[in-house]
Amino acid sequence: MLKNLNKYEIILVSKSPRRRNLLKALGLKFSTDAVDLDESIPANMPTEKAALFLAEKKASTYQIKNNQLIITADTIVCLGDEVLGKPAGRKEAQQMLRKLSGNVHDVITGVCIKTSEKQFLFSSTTEVHFKELCEKEISHYIDVYKPYDKAGSYGIQEWIGYIGIDYIKGSFYNVMGLPVQKLYKELLKC
């Protein structure tokens, strides 16, 4: 279905093993690379624009050759107007999970598809409803899964997702870090 992309060398610019697995499941042939960059968000930026800002920032730092198509993405967790990034350590992970416990939050993934000639930007938002978590559940999850590379300190595909998420409104895969259905739709446009 994505034969129109055969002329490109597709590169996923991401360190995320979850994004690699999701893109592989889509049936694309691609390689991976990564960029190191400051993932801070301007203080006055609305939360709904932050993930797009970061995805575009990643794409702008990557040197694209003529036959390449890159895909960058960034996922943020928003509890009201507060953006919960990746925790710096155990204490911050506990604080984040306590905030999410018994609450509803949004997971927003911004995606940038870029060639030497064009750029496509889009985002996806999923509403996540967490049950009330007890301290033992939070500690167990952090001790076993060490969610320090995940926005909001959790992975929906892990134990905490099985026991802690009542329901979601939107894409499950978006919460994992890549809104695959929307990405497929945008790649068809390339």
Q: Which residues are catalytic?
A: 74
Write out the E strands in the chain: 9-13, 31-33, 68-79, 82-84, 104-114, 119-130, 165-169
Tokens of residue 156, six digits: 């929906």
Strand pairing class (9-13; 31-33): parallel
Give 128's DSSP letter: E
Helix, strand or coil for residue 173?
helix
Q: Are 91 and 163 in contact (CB under 8 A)?
A: no
